[in-house]
Amino acid sequence: MSDDKTLAETLAQRGISRRSFLKFCASIASLMAMPPAMAVEMAEKLAAARRQSVVYLSFQECTGCLESLTRSHSPKLEDLIFDAISLDYQETLVACAGHFAEHILKEAIEKNDGKFILMVDGSIPLKDGGIYSTIAGRTNLDILEWVAPHAAAVIAVGSCAAFGGIPKANPNPTGAVAVSDIIKDKPIINVPGCPPIPVVITGVIAHYLTMGTIPDLDELGRPKVFFGDSIHDRCYRRPFYDQGKFAKSFDDEGARNGWCLFELGCKGPTTHNACATTKWNGGVSFPIESGHGCLGCSEPDFWDAGSFYTALSAPTKDVANWAAIGVAAGAAIGVAAGIANRSTKTETKRTRKPLTVDDLKGKPKS
Ligand code: FSX
């Protein structure tokens, strides 16, 4: 699939207009909180770029990450991104099978040694010699340790690759670990979520193509531009939280009025992701907008962090108390997390540490 054409040549060949391309660049620049002028600079750099080789490996996972990436919405940002990269190997999408597929992977590595981006989804099982997930007779560990040293950088796609995810959930029967537990000498960008947001995955690739560097990362290796705010920071139901107005069940008056889902177990206050801003399915909605609390799937060990339907802190007896707690917690979170992040003071946002449950309860982090 790899070729030596520039992106501009590739797009022209595919009948994509300059206007559509500039629109695409403006969307990506906006998504990454760049000033509008950067869209033009991005367009120039991208147009001149050779198609970036990408090798995509899948390990212990459910294929939800790839489904998310490929079933993305219009405008076809992802289609353009796939024009901008040369996806030289992806097991699910590759047309051939067996020895031919193995040959393609080997060829992709040799042809762009030291230059390709390695995308990995799924965790890596280590127990019993890694036998719980093998491809063509090789363990996931063996394949990762073979391919990663030849990559320029690694993108760990999904919570399984980034943090171990559901396969690592207690009692972790396969001894699953994250990519960063194995690979120590390469830049690794974690793009968690179960699955991750498609435009966040492609935004990270676009950043690399445009800047030639990986984006600023938080302490968990996630791009700050997408994971700098909590779901709670950006949630459209946040005013109800601050007013102490909470749905008590999924079918009560509060739920019908669109009140805050905190008491129903929403993990938005401790979860960092862009769902509330980019949304899903073409920007139509996201879980909270659909009436269900956030599960916290982009945080480490989210599956073992308690019931999805238990509130982060114990409910108090009356609404007045909730209002007081809500306003105080809201103010604390607002200051700590920087509601002012919505302004252009992005540096403040990007240096902030992620909130934890202990932050909400006023306990110091251990
Ligand atoms: Fe994990 Fe992805 Fe969840 Fe599934 O590849 S992050 S189980 S959506 O598929 O790895």
Q: What secondary structure does DSSP assign to 27-48, as a single string?
A: HHHHHTT--THHHHHHHHHHHH
Q: Give the distance from CA 138 to its chain's centroid.
A: 28
Q: What share of the chain is helix, strand, coil (3-state, %, to 5)?
A: 45, 15, 40
CA–centroid distance, 192 to ligand 1, in Å, is 9
Q: Which atom of ligand 1 is closest in space to residue 68's alpha carbon? A: 8
Domains and CATH numbers, the chain: 52-224 (3.40.50.700), 229-366 (4.10.480.10)
CA–centroid distance, 172 to ligand 1, in Å, is 15
Class of residue 236 by CB neighbours under 10 A (exposed 0-12, middle 13-18, buried 19+): exposed
Tens of pLDDT, residue by residue, the chain (366 residues):
445 677 777 777 777 777 877 877 787 777 777 777 777 887 887 778 778 899 999 999 999 999 888 766 544 545 655 667 888 998 888 888 899 999 999 999 999 999 999 999 999 999 999 999 999 999 999 999 999 999 999 999 999 999 999 999 999 999 999 999 999 999 999 999 999 998 888 888 888 887 888 999 999 999 999 999 999 999 999 999 999 999 999 999 999 999 999 999 999 999 999 999 989 987 899 999 999 999 999 999 999 999 999 999 754 433 334 444 444 444 443 333 333 333 333 333 333 344 444 444 344 333
Q: Which protein residues are within 6 Å of ligand 1, measured from CB?
A: 61-65, 121-122, 158-160, 165-166, 194-195
pTM for this predicted structure:
0.82
Cα(16)–Cα(121) distance, rounded to whole angstroms?
30
Q: What pLDDT, on the 0 to 100 scale, is given for residue 30?
A: 78
Q: Which of 70, 121, 275, 301 to mutate to test ligand 1, by most ligand atoms within 8 A of the CB atom? A: 121
CA–centroid distance, 67 to ligand 1, in Å, is 9
